[in-house]
């Protein structure tokens, strides 16, 4: 169930969302195949897909020896995967239970990661130093009302020559009716400063339910995302759009066999499912 055009202040929305994400931790610990990290060669599906798009922009085409800041890191599966590529990684998230889980995973996986509890919109003030790479991927900025402030954090965290990488659900996808039998729009594409309020006890992964089902999200069109990064002084280096997702957005989606989901073949070329942006700080 959802309501649109909800006027809510950021502190209340953030705290409500944090309670929901706190509740997701034990569900996602069971759904994210954490035991696979017992193999030192294992990388999360998300990072495995992101690396070919990210590494061409890095010195030596590798994360090895670089300082990486992972924003909105959740329970750390992608963070640990980045560390296994040889990076010195700092993971930032607003959920304390998520960071406890992430730290435990890193310990079991034999990697050293720094964990910081912070609202992502205050990330610059929460950490010391700067970074070669700022990374965020899948299901992140829809939770934020102010992309100008977000992009300013990214730019301030990067050292000169640093690289920002994001892959996320495409805003055109988020406008679709996920329950419809065909591709039809249902939700708002353009922002107006108000939130979408959701009541959903399930999550995108795992079979459990949360006790705090309310969340707030904000639609951000592709133009707003790009312009926020440009406005923060970053240089756009690449923009791509994809056809697969690492979660099942709609029951109509089909498994691709590599941990991803896609629309049925007849719809696959009709709508993007993700976008990827690489930007740099001069």
Give the Å distances, CA to CA, from 49 to 46, 54, 242. Answer: 5, 9, 11
- DSSP 8-state code for residue 154: H
Token pair for 1: 């169930």
Interval 138-196: pLDDT, tens: 999 999 999 999 999 999 999 999 999 999 999 999 999 999 999 999 999 999 999 99
Task: For residue 92, count other CB atoms closer than 10 A to its CB.
Answer: 26
Residue 203 CA to residue 28 CA, distance in Å, equals 9
What CATH number corresponds to the domain at position 165? 3.40.50.150
Interval 25-53: pLDDT, tens: 999 898 788 999 999 999 999 999 999 99
Helix (H, G, I), strand (E, B) or coil at 168: strand
Residue 90 CA to residue 135 CA, distance in Å, equals 10
Interval 135-147: pLDDT, tens: 999 999 999 999 9
Across the beta sheet with 214-217, the strand order is 2-6, 195-199, 214-217
CA nearest 281: which of 165, 158, 127, 124? 158
What's the whole-number average pLDDT of the chain? Answer: 96
Our count of domains for the chain comes to 1
**Domain carrying residue 142:** 2-280
The stretches of the chain forming alpha helices (DSSP H) are 10-31, 45-54, 77-83, 96-109, 123-126, 147-157, 171-174, 222-231
pTM above 0.85, yes or no: yes
List strand residue ranges (DSSP E) for the chain, in order.
2-6, 67-71, 88-93, 113-117, 131-137, 158-169, 195-199, 214-217, 235-242, 244-245, 254-255, 261-262, 274-280
Give the Å distances, CA to CA, from 104 to 20, 70, 74, 259. Answer: 21, 17, 13, 24
């Amino acid at each position: 169930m959802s309501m649109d055009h909800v006027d809510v202040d950021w502190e209340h929305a953030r705290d409500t969302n944090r309670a929901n994400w706190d509740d997701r931790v034990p569900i996602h610990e069971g759904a994210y195949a954490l035991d696979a990290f017992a193999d030192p060669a294992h990388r999360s599906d998300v990072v495995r897909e992101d690396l070919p798009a990210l590494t061409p922009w890095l010195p030596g085409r590798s994360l090895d020896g670089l300082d990486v800041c992972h924003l909105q890191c959740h329970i750390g599966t992608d963070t640990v995967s980045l560390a296994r590529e040889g990076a010195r990684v700092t993971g930032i998230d607003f959920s304390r239970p998520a960071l406890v889980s992430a730290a435990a995973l890193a310990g079991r996986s034999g990697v050293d990661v720094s964990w910081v509890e912070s609202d992502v919109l205050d990330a610059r003030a929460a950490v010391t130093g700067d970074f070669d790479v700022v990374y965020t991927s899948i299901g992140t900025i829809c939770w934020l009302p102010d992309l100008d402030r977000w992009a300013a954090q990214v730019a301030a965290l990067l050292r000169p020559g640093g690289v920002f990488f994001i892959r996320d659900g495409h805003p055109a996808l988020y406008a679709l009716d996920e329950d419809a039998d065909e591709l039809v729009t249902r939700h708002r594409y353009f922002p107006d400063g108000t939130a979408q309020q959701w009541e959903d006890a399930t999550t995108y992964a795992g079979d459990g339910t949360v006790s705090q089902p309310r969340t707030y999200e904000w639609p951000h069109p592709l133009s707003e995302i790009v312009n926020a990064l440009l406005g923060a002084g970053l240089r756009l280096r690449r923009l791509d759009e994809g056809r697969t997702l690492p979660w099942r957005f709609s029951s109509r989606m089909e498994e691709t066999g590599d941990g991803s989901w896609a629309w049925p073949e007849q719809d696959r070329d009709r709508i993007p499912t993700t976008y990827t942006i690489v930007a740099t700080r001069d």
